[in-house]
């Protein structure tokens, strides 16, 4: 199990290794729009553990995202902990 952690509240959500972070991020309070990497609504900052996430997608590159600034609808968590803010 991997963990998604929201820095502001300390809330931690467990996610099976390899799964998308969308559901956990939504439960933490991240807002979603298109869910397809187009609108940018789900932008999150990665404070720690950026290497525990999947590679940046083309959709994220198109919105000028990088390892520290991702789209929650596009990320899978590989393992370990990822701390986010938004």
Contact residues: ligand FES, CB under 6 A? 32-35, 37-42, 71, 73
HEC sequence for the chain: CEEEEECCCCCEEEECCCCECHHHHHHHCCCCCCCCCCCCCCEEEEEECHHHECCCCHHHHHCCCECCEEECCCCEECCCEEEEEC
The minimum distance between CB 25 and ligand FES, in angstroms, equals 10
The minimum distance between CB 26 and ligand FES, in angstroms, equals 10
> Which residue, 19 or 35, has its beta carbon nearer to ligand FES?
35
> Which residue, 16 or 33, has its beta carbon nearer to ligand FES?
33
The minimum distance between CB 59 and ligand FES, in angstroms, equals 7
State residue 6 phi and psi, 5-degree precision.
-100, 115
> Which residue, 5 or 73, has its beta carbon nearer to ligand FES?
73
């Amino acid at each position: 199990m991997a963990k998604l952690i929201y820095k502001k509240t300390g809330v931690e959500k467990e996610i099976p290794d390899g799964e998308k972070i969308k559901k956990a991020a939504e439960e933490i309070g991240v807002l979603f729009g298109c869910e397809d990497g187009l609108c940018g609504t789900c932008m999150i900052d990665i404070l720690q553990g950026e290497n525990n996430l999947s590679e940046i997608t083309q959709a994220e590159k198109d919105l000028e995202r990088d390892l520290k600034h991702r789209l929650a609808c596009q990320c899978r968590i590989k393992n370990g902990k990822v701390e986010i803010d938004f």
